[in-house]
Amino acid sequence: MENMKDVTIIGGGPSGMFASFYSGLRGMSVRIVEFQDKLGGKMHVYPEKIIWDIGGVAPKPCYEVIEDIVEQGLHFSPEVNLKERVIDIKKVAEQHFIVETESGNAYHSKAVIIAVGGGIIKPMTLDIEGAERYEVSNLNYVVQSVQKYKDKHVLISGAGNAALDWAADLAPHAKSLTLCYRKDEISGHEHMKEELDQLGVIEKKRTQIKQLMSDDSGKLIKEVVLESTDDGSEEVIAVDEVIISHGFNRDSALLDNATTQLERYDDFFIQGQGNASTSVPGIYACGDILQHEAKVHLIASAFNDGANAANLAKKYIEPEAYDNGRVSSHNDIFKEKNKQVLKKYLVNA
């Protein structure tokens, strides 16, 4: 079949891109299908965040990690299909799967690797009438640039880990930073409370946003009305930027509605069989969507998942193949690339 690939990878985040690299290392033809208009997955939500959880890699901004991950994942020239929403996965025969997309494309492959992370990213929006008109100005659901908030009065609504991370990152640069939340205490990691106090973050407990008030242009939020959840009393604060961090809706439509059903965990995650295998032979999973007893949800473990999924796909397609790929530094397919890299370091030495 002309359109047949060895592996179709659904998702172009860290695990999907490493699965692409490792599948290429194992000599398999690869297709990547990604919903967003670029590769890198949900890492694009926090491009300036410093990444610490990749073994052997010194802390660096997320956008640099994205560049490295994408470059590596494209090394073996996979077919890449962006802005494609997958709506179905069908197993029509052994070593024959069809991945269908909303645009009407049908991608055929011998195996499938699901690397959709937490699903399509959909921030929970502020439930206030007319709030959406400020989304093009100063109502934010992600923080992509610290510079945008420099010397400004910033309000963050939320008390989860993402909200607290943003507060800690922005407080040293903002003119003031206010954190409002409905609960008695923050729900993120305990050490954050002390850090936020040291940074001078103003906390508004048991408080929620009631109203957004615009400037004369009607295009910018000038003030926010905060309402106490205790007694309904109100307070008005001046703002330059508002950040909403109420979490993300988990889109499970693909796995819920797919023709080929997989065993699930907690009605969302794919239940791994102690590794990247799923309950359906020929379909594998990696990254945040995969759950099993040994799972650790770090970027570092996403890479291990990707390699594991690729190795299992190789064995499924070619049962006589080795369990693992050859160590990449000794692999003949990298001989010329290794020379180029070594030459660069010798020149710079």
For 307, the 3-state DSSP assignment is helix
The token duo for 95 is 């070593």
The token duo for 75 is 């090394």
β-pair partners for 11: none
Q: Are 271 and 291 in contact (CB under 8 A)?
A: yes
Closest CA to 86 of 31, 138, 156: 31
For 66, the 3-state DSSP assignment is helix
Instruction: Find out whether 86 is annotated in a ligand binding site.
Output: yes
Instruction: Find out whether 46 is annotated in a ligand binding site.
Output: yes
Q: Are 154 and 201 in contact (CB under 8 A)?
A: no
* DSSP, residue by residue, 280-337: STTEEE-GGGEE-TT---SHHHHHHHHHHHHHHHHHHH-TTS-SSPPPGGG-GGGHHH
Q: Tell me how far apart the alpha carbons of residues 135 and 127 are, in angstroms, rounded to a whole number.
A: 13
Amino acid found at 258: A
Phi-psi region of 251 (alpha: psi -120 to 50; beta: other; left: phi over 0): beta
Nearby residues of 162 by Cβ (< 8 Å), 6 or more positions away: 245, 247
Q: Are 313 and 307 in contact (CB under 8 A)?
A: no
Instruction: Find out whether 288 is annotated in a ligand binding site.
Output: yes
Instruction: Find out whether 136 is annotated in a ligand binding site.
Output: no
Indicate the helix (H) or strand (E) that contains 20.
helix 14-25
Annotated binding site: 15, 34, 42, 46, 86, 121, 288, 329
Annotated binding site for FAD: 15, 34, 42, 46, 86, 121, 288, 329
